[in-house]
Amino acid sequence: MIFDPAVDTEEEVLAIRTRAKELLTEGATTISWNSEGTSVNKTITMPIKQVMEETLLFLRKVDPDTYGKSIKRTVPRYTS
């Protein structure tokens, strides 16, 4: 997960998610943003789909009652 609850706030992540959604509806394929916490400065460029997935993972981690619990899926292993 690229967002850290110790550094990033729910409000910051929601703002990033809102911007990603706007760019997605405009047809953009990547997003860039800066996040400055108390001790961390990061600049990230990534596909918008991944931004949406990462923000949802963060939101589910910090507030599962509002955003739903994280879903962990397992992939069956096939042996030959």
Residue 77 predicted with pLDDT over 90: no
Higher pLDDT, 2 or 38: 2
> Is the distance from CB of 29 to CB of 47 less than 8 angstroms?
yes
> Which amino acid appears at position 36 of this protein?
E
Q: 37: pLDDT confidence band, cut at 50, 70 and 90?
A: low
CA dihedral 44, 47, 48, 51 (to 10 degrees): -50
The pLDDT score that the predictor gives to residue 42 is: 56
Q: 24: pLDDT confidence band, cut at 50, 70 and 90?
A: confident
Q: 71: pLDDT confidence band, cut at 50, 70 and 90?
A: confident
Kindly state the average pLDDT of the residues 57-62.
93
Beta strand 41-47 with 30-36 is antiparallel
Percent of the chain with pLDDT over 70: 84
> Is the distance from CB of 24 to CB of 52 less than 8 angstroms?
yes
